[in-house]
Amino acid sequence: MSLINLAFKKTKNEKRPALLTYTVAGDNSKKKSLDILKSIANYADICEIGFPHNTPIADGGQIQSSAYRALKNGIKIKDVFSIVKDFKKSKQTKPVILMGYYNMIYQYGDNNFINICKKVLLKNVRKKILALFN
């Protein structure tokens, strides 16, 4: 069973809603972003980490501002993976969801992106990502 399924099973058994948090990776710096992520993970059931994007038109103002700050500070895709890898060293059992726009994945290269996800974060990533596009 996946960490995400386990988190939902746990909250169901505790008769409470799951708390999913979201933060843009790299907002305001790589180190601060990791500190924030570790801090909120103490209270969240699942952590969602966003890849900053230069045109986040589907997001609200707060997320747009966060993404612009991260990009202004030079955060790249490889930095997001680095933040996640460092996070998972201390929070191995905390479920993580990566959020981003597909055009960013496409430009990075589907297989390259999937392979890095597998190394840094998840098992069976290819199956999960491919299921989204079929």
Beta strands in the chain (DSSP E): 20-24, 46-50, 96-99
Known catalytic membership, residue 59: yes
- Burial string for 74-109 (b: 16+ CB within 10 Å, else e) reads ebebebbbbbbebbeeeeeebbbebebbeeebeebe
Catalytic residue among 48, 79, 86, 110: 48
Nearest to 70 by CA among 60, 57, 58, 56: 56
Catalytic residue among 59, 79, 86, 110: 59
Give the pair of three-digit tokens for residue 106: 């496409």
Known catalytic membership, residue 14: no
**Catalytic residue list:** 48, 59
